[in-house]
Amino acid sequence: MSNHEIHAAWKYHDGTKHSYWSIREHPHLLDWANRPQPFKIYPEVEPLPLPRDVPQTGVTALSAISEPAPSSWADSVPGLPDLARLLYFSAGITKQRAYPGGEIYFRAAACTGALYEIELYVVTGDLPGLDAGVYHFNPVDVSLRLLRKGDFRRNLAQATAMEPAVAQAPATIICTGTYWRNSWKYQARTYRHFGWDNGTLLANMLAVSAASGLPAEIVLGFVDAEVNRLLDLDTRREVSLCLVPIGHTSESSLPATKEAPALGLETIPLSQHEIEYPAMLEMHDASSLASAEEVAQWRGKPPVVQCAPLAAGAVLLRRLPEEEQPKDTIEQVILRRGSTRTFDKAASITLAQLSTIFHCATRGLPADFLKPPGEQLNDLYLIVHAVQGLKPGAYFFRRDQDALELLKEGEFRAQAHHLGLEQELPADACVDIFFLADLKRILEQYGNRGYRAVQLEAGAIGGRIYLAAYAQHLGATGLTFFDDDVISFFSPHARDKSAIFLLAIGKPLKRKPQ
């Protein structure tokens, strides 16, 4: 199916909506005995340990998130410590907790259900301390495993229609999604989670890359089959989601493309048996790009711009002055982050804290589908419960004006409880941020691939919000939602939009000493 047959994305989106009735009529019981392994293990490939004592960047989290990516005109080549820092603070194990069925290894970025379906690979030329090759990153022993020896960067560059950031990158990280690891719990909705969970991870990766002085960007335009072949993926189980070129070199002479035959490397099965959800395979197939020509054409889309006068009474966002901003480094904040499990319902945050979060998170992502930089596919809508300086109510964020327009005033904790799948978290938070998008316009412009883009962008902005909240010692959590009820709540303003993502911010409830 072609990328332009967009009924495929609508079919998937509509078919995976949550509603009050859908979760009651189709309850899903978890088969704990068949719980998937959270790691991809190549038992026969020797590990190449990455350095663990990597120097801290010393860069504050808030500036790492919000500063534009370092410009790519100067040469910047990551060394092994840079690569180790990037991989560890994106996907490394940061905490470990026992639960009745075993152990949960929590990772650097938030992930639905702590199921960690995103894998990282590196395609590199010769770097200081690392030979050219295609590697897989294993967070268990913080090491790389060599899958292919040699420089395959031209293969990758060609798959992106010679996207300059990839063609001139000394190394590119590839993020993949493993269906079963997440669909064990979330069934066919996992394809949305691919974007969300890959996005939160990318927020970390881009921030750490910026803090390391290395240019990086998200590349979503590539010939799927070629990248999957390079990584030797079994595409019924695992697929490439995006590329992140790291660094820049003026060296224009990439080596010739190389044959990439099947590797046949053994990997440990994730579960005793796996269940396949055809809706996701169809969605992936329909949003795949088949040739470099199609990639080039896809990437050349004009931006989606909207302008309207600012509503009377809109509140301008004023972030914390530089000298009052918390100075914790990006590494400290990533290590501290962990989704809030209970918010303090009696707490409030300040407008300056909220403004600082919005300032950091919505500066525009460096991504090939957002050129010129600064565009955004998702619109942000808020339910404000307890923000000093803001009336409780529903708001629309005007990114072009850095302002909040009041849509309706009122106490909406009960509604937030319902919209966030009847969980306490969105009711008890200080503010809930809903990501809504004009899917019709996005799909018309980008085809089915636009569906991947809008979910991924939401996850990445959500990931930045997490970091900006934790940098200010606040709490946050991603949430899921009743799709159509969210749209009804924010209508008529949101009438023609679709619900994409939800995140709550507040203050974690401090447990009383026993």
Ligand X SMILES: Cc1cc2nc3c(=O)[nH]c(=O)nc-3n(C[C@H](O)[C@H](O)[C@H](O)COP(=O)(O)O)c2cc1C
Report d(CA 27, CA 173) in Å as an integer. 37
Q: Least distance (Å) from ligand X to the CB of residue 202?
A: 12
Which residues lie below 8 Å from residue 157, measured CB to CB, with a gap of 6+?
Answer: 163, 166, 167, 254
Stretch that binds ligand X, among 62-70, 112-120, 304-312, 358-366 (CB under 6 A): 112-120
Piece in contact with ligand X (CB under 6 A), picked from 19-27, 111-119, 300-308, 359-367: 111-119
Task: Kindly state the tokens that stand for 61.
Answer: 């989290």
Chain centroid offset of residue 247 CA: 20
Tell me how far apart the alpha carbons of residues 168 and 85 are, in angstroms, rounded to a whole number.
21
Binding positions for ligand X, 169-228, rule CB under 6 A: 196, 200
Judged by beta carbon, residue 60 or residue 112, the one nearer ligand X is 112
The two tokens of residue 117 are: 């379906």
| 480 lies in the site for ligand X, by CB under 6 A | yes
Rounded Cα distance between 425 and 433, Å, is: 12
Count of residues that interact with ligand X, criterion CB under 6 A: 17
Distance CA 471, CA 360 (A): 11
Query: Between 478 and 508, whose beta carbon lies closer to ligand X?
Result: 478
Alpha-carbon distance of 106 to 480, in angstroms, equals 19
Q: Which is nearer to ligand X, 196 or 446 (CB)?
A: 196
Query: Do residues 62 and 360 touch, judged by C-beta distance below 8 A?
Result: yes
118 binds ligand X, rule: CB under 6 A: no
Report the residue from 112, 240, 378, 455 that binds ligand X according to the rule CB under 6 A.
112
Q: Does 339 bind ligand X (CB under 6 A)?
A: yes
DSSP 124-161: ES-BTTB-SEEEEEETTTTEEEEEEES--HHHHHHHTT
Rule CB under 6 A: choose which of 479, 487, 500, 504 binds ligand X: 479
**Nearest partner of 260 among 128, 172, 117, 159, judged by Cα:** 159
224: amino acid identity, one letter: D
Shortest gap between Cβ of 324 and ligand X (angstroms)? 27
Instruction: Compute, in degrees rounded to 10, the torsion defined by CA atoms 494, 497, 503, 506.
Output: -10
Q: Which is nearer to ligand X, 135 or 466 (CB)?
A: 466
Residue nearest to ligand X (CB): 478
**Which C-beta is closer to ligand X: that of 113 or that of 374?**
113
Q: Which is nearer to ligand X, 197 or 294 (CB)?
A: 197
d(CA 384, CA 393): 5
In 3D space, the residue among 507, 208, 195, 194 whose CA is nearest the CA of residue 330 turns out to be: 208
Q: Does 390 sit near ligand X (CB under 6 A)?
A: no
Q: Between 360 and 500, whose beta carbon lies closer to ligand X?
A: 500
Of 121, 27, 111, 45, the C-alpha closest to 83 is 121
Name the minimum Å distance from CB 478 to ligand X: 2
Nearest to 274 by CA among 117, 109, 138, 113: 117
Asked whether position 477 contacts ligand X by CB under 6 A, the answer is yes
Nearer of residues 124 and 480 to ligand X, judged by Cβ? 480
Q: Report residue 13: phi and psi, to 5°.
A: -60, -50
- Per CB under 6 A, the segment of 79-87, 211-219, 397-405, 478-486 that binds ligand X is 478-486
Tokens of 355: 């403004």
Q: For 510, phi and psi rounded to 5 degrees?
A: -80, 125
* Distance in angstroms between the alpha carbons of the first and the last residue of the chain: 59
Question: Distance (Å, rounded) from C-alpha 315 to C-alpha 465?
Answer: 20
| Closer by beta carbon to ligand X, 77 or else 469 | 469
Q: Which residue(s) pair with 435 in the sheet?
A: 380, 501
- Site residues for ligand X, window 299-338 (CB under 6 A)? 338
Write each residue from 235 to 254 as x if it is in contact with ligand X (CB under 6 A), else as -, in one continuous string. Answer: --------------------
Which residue, chain included where needed, has tokens 């979060």? 357
The β-bridge partners of 238 are 178
**Out of 80, 114, 225, 311, the residue judged to bind ligand X by CB under 6 A:** 114
User: Candidates 108-116, 145-153, 229-237, 267-275 — which segment interacts with ligand X by CB under 6 A?
Assistant: 108-116
Among residue numbers 76 through 105, which ones bind ligand X (CB under 6 A)?
A: none
Could you tell me the smallest distance in angstroms from the CB atom of residue 120 to ligand X? 17
Nearer to ligand X, 82 or 117 (CB): 117
Give the residue with the Cβ less far from ligand X, 93 or 314. Answer: 93
Least spacing, CB of residue 281 vs ligand X, in Å: 22
Among 64, 110, 360, 487, binds ligand X (CB under 6 A): 110
Nearer to ligand X, 419 or 425 (CB): 425
Span near ligand X by CB under 6 A; candidates 82-90, 106-114, 287-295, 324-332: 106-114
**Least Å from the CB of residue 123 to ligand X:** 26
User: Smallest distance, Å, CB 94 to ligand X?
Assistant: 7
Q: Taking CB under 6 A as the rule, which mask of x and - marks residues 417-436 in contact with ligand X? A: ----x-x-x-----------
> 3-state class of 241 per DSSP?
strand
Buried b vs exposed e over 491-514: b needs ≥16 C-beta within 10 Å? eebbeebbbbbbbbbbbbbeeeee
How is residue 218 annotated by DSSP? B
The residue ranges that bind ligand X (CB under 6 A) are: 106, 110-114, 196, 200, 338-339, 421, 423, 425, 477-480
